Structure 1
């Protein structure tokens, strides 16, 4: 009598052990791949906030949406480029 038959393991037992071994190695390999990717992969998850739009960009967006006409756009753009207002 062979050694493995003496322990009372049936065909379903061998099937279960085979599936368990395959799952075990699948989990180990997946963990190693994920660890490798985490260490060597590009770091895309930077926590930078997008830059706030400039006043010229906001004015251009309002003009593009039709909220202001060209005359008002030019007037406000000139006011932005003229610098801060000074009190007399």
Structure 2
């Protein structure tokens, strides 16, 4: 092996090390893809959990009262009065 062949050999080794058309960028992109996918899953599952927690149980007394108010069966003053009674614990 002569010294004239070393630059040619050094230039060809990196291009063939990763295969044809693939560079070292794939080793960075694949973990980033999985991290983003898992991050989105965690974000949306927590969002659904907090949304459910803020709205409460639809079958609870407050949930039924909220549904009646949304359908227009009761007005705002009656809704607030009944909600106050429910939250105070008096029946």
Task: Place the TM-score, normalised by the shorter chain, in its bin.
Answer: 0.3 to 0.5
TM-score, normalised to structure 1, is 0.36
The structure with more radius of gyration: 1
TM-score, normalised to structure 2, is 0.35
More helix by share: 2
